[in-house]
Chain A
Amino acid sequence: MTTPLSIFRFRIIFIIFWLLLEADQTMVLHYFGMRWEHAMIDSGISNAILLLLSLLVMNTLRFYLPRGRQYIHIFSLCLFLTLIWLLITKWLLAVSLGHVPGYRELLQHSLSIRFSIAFLLLGCITMISILWFNQKEQKENELRKVDAEKLTKEAELFKLRQQLQPHFLFNSLNSINALIGSRPEEARKMVQQLSDFLRGTLKKEETQWVEFHEELQYLQLYLDIEKVRFGNRLATTIHIADEASKMKVPALLLQPIVENAIKFGLYDTIGETMIHMEALVDGKDLVISISNPFDPETSSPKQGTGFGLKSIQRRLYLLFARNDLLTTATQNAEFITQVRIPQEQTNK
């Protein structure tokens, strides 16, 4: 851990303060009738020793920070150090200035005031050091906490991603299995699409940002695979405003929303399911809406959305620390999911 004095600015302030202290004491002693040079020697000796003790205190606190009731120890330590200072200073001053007439009396008289000032100073230095080191420690704790949170966040994001895959994967493999016998060319194409899709999932990090049109390509792969699986039942329309395609989105965010819409649409209605996707720019945000049909008589979309949207909500919260980015609405027999993606990447 660094001490306050390891910062250059504080070191300068500290030195200036000490010089002022010495000058002040010299002037006071001169005022009481000492000659300039004697006053300077007196002030020099006493303050130099005080300076040494201050540095000692500062360094000790670096390794030993008092907690709770231990403040009484600090108080005793200050008192003790001041007493030592007084004894040493008194002896040194007597040795070096004892020959000056009247000095011994002055020294004897001023002992109490010298003691008080030294005690106050040492006390101040101690308090400042304690505050400094406490704050330092707190900052380090916070940093650790942030690190730990980041780790859990990444783990959580990873887990959220994993949960969406197996059903899709096995059903796709089953479709390929069926195509191999009857339409091997199409089977090959689907193997390619599935591989590209899975590679895309593996390659990207959850916290990575990509351009929207890039993510759309990835989404298209997904939609193509689903269309092979569900045949004529699944149809999609996509409408993207020109300025939207250049905007940025968190990687792999949209696919689970589309997956959810498809699942909800396909399993809640009979007949053709039309998934409609629209992207536009609203102020600084990219707004994407995805709609799917549902049966208002038998589902209450609040519960029907299930796992899919909850995990997306959580992901958006982890990315932006906001809970208002995902909204859902129903219109006639359409369920509309809307995501708003702020373009200022606060939490990259």
Chain B
Amino acid sequence: MKVVIIDDEPLARSIVKEYLQKHPDLELMQECGDGFEGVKAIQQHQPDLIFLDIQMPKITGFEMLELLEQPPAVIFTTAFDEYAIKAFEAHAIDYLLKPFNQERFDKAIQKWREQSAQHKTTSTKELLEAASLSPSQNQRIVVKNGSRIKIIPVQDVFYLEAADDYVKIHTAEGYFLKNKTMNHFEQSLDKDLFVRSHRSFMVNIQEITRIDPYEKDNHVALLRSGAKVPVSRNGYIRLREVLGL
């Protein structure tokens, strides 16, 4: 069985490594100091289990998981993060609170072994959904652009557009795709900055230069970039509310 450790603190990695020695069937493939390395290592080694810290440079452990097509089983290691812990508990995912001892570590491994033997899939997706509503995570959107990882500060987003199972995130550099729903973004993004102007569109109100009537009952918002975003009847009501018109 292959294992990868992802934690930005060297000593935090070394303690996991030490505890792993008791489990000779688990082979440590790589240690990573941040989420970028983590994504690469996971793609390269296809591990069965990863140990993942949450607070890390550039992207959090959660954001890293969002970038993976098929995330491996995860045991989270964290020191203190009320919000994450709530998310873990809600989705019955095992996590290790730092500092932890060998006994606790073995228990987590045991639990993972039992679950993988029963082919139980952990509900990583729901967990990520819950975790991404944390206030610290709505300042930016992390996307994968080919093999590159792109971090988009939310204020750089012009507007969002639904596209099948994805959401197109339009920015000055073109658009990026994220495997999420419009409802997700409507919940996680700042409600004073982004308004659902249409069933399939969310617009950054800082970018709006004009709102024109368009056909019957509908409007269209003109953005600084020149883009036109459809505004439905209900969307128009919401926009007027936020803009204070």
Contact = CB atoms under 8 A, between A and B. Distances in A.
Nearest to B9: A229
A230 interface: yes
B36 interface: yes
Contacts of B151: 297-298
B57 A171 contact: no
Interface string B137-162: 00110000000000111010000000
Contacts of A259: none
A305 B28 CA distance: 36
Taking residues whose C-beta sits less than 8 angstroms from the other chain, chain A's interface range is 20 to 34
A167 B136 CA distance: 15
Given A267-B56, A270-B36, A166 B80 contact: yes
B184 interface: no
A130 to B, nearest CB: 49
Contact of A270 (B57, B79, B80): B57
Given A267-B55, A270-B58, A300 B18 contact: no
B11 A174 contact: yes
B10 A231 contact: yes
B18 A181 contact: yes
B177 to A, nearest CB: 18
Taking residues whose C-beta sits less than 8 angstroms from the other chain, chain B's interface range is 20 to 34
Contact of B15 (A167, A181, A297): A181
Interface in B42-57: 55-57
Interface string A230-251: 1101000000000000000000
A150 to B, nearest CB: 31
A298 B15 contact: no
- Which secondary structure dominates where chain A touches chain B? helix
Interface in A175-194: 175-179, 181-182
Interface in A140-198: 166-167, 170-171, 173-179, 181-182
A306 B14 CA distance: 31
Contacts of A312: none
Most chain B CB within a 10 A radius of its CB, from A178, A229, A269, A297:
A178
Contacts of B80: 166-167, 170-171
Contacts of A167: 55, 79-81
B9 A171 contact: yes
Rank and list the top 5 A-B pairs by shortest CB-CB distance, nearest first.
A170-B79, A174-B98, A178-B15, A178-B11, A177-B99
